[in-house]
Amino acid sequence: MQEQENTKERDLKINPIAGWKRLLNYQSIVKQIPFFLFLALLAIIYIYNGHYADKTIRSINETAKEVKELKYEFKTVKSEVMFRSKQSELAKAVEPVGLKELTIAPVVLKDSIEKASQ
């Protein structure tokens, strides 16, 4: 057994191509198949991860654009509501219905029960 190992080592030192031939024979390749499959699986996972990251970034950018547009729409609607809720604008809006702005102070009504208790 030791003689075979010694001859193999001697052959490797003398002829380095013999080492490559020993590594590339059918049996050693068959032994390495699980490792190659593992490397292929890692490559597939790496590619998938890259595509998933790109898809996520596109989705984030699309959502950011949508939020920006909604902010602008909110500001526009808010300014329009503020403008229409001014007293002068309200008076103009209800004038066709027949409502008019008060020119005298409102009358305060008091409950008779409250007078009796005081």
SS (H, E, C) the chain: CHHHHHHHHHHHHHCCHHHHHHHCCHHHHHHHHHHHHHHHHHHHHHHHHHHHHHHHHHHHHHHHHHHHHHHHHHHHHHHHHHHHCCHHHHHHHHHHHCCCCCCCCCCCCCCHHHHHHC
Give 43-46 contacts, CB < 8 A, sequence gap 24+: none
Output 26 or 17, whichever has higher pLDDT.
26
Banded model confidence at residue 77, pLDDT cuts 50, 70, 90: very high
Output 92 or 10, whichever has higher pLDDT.
92
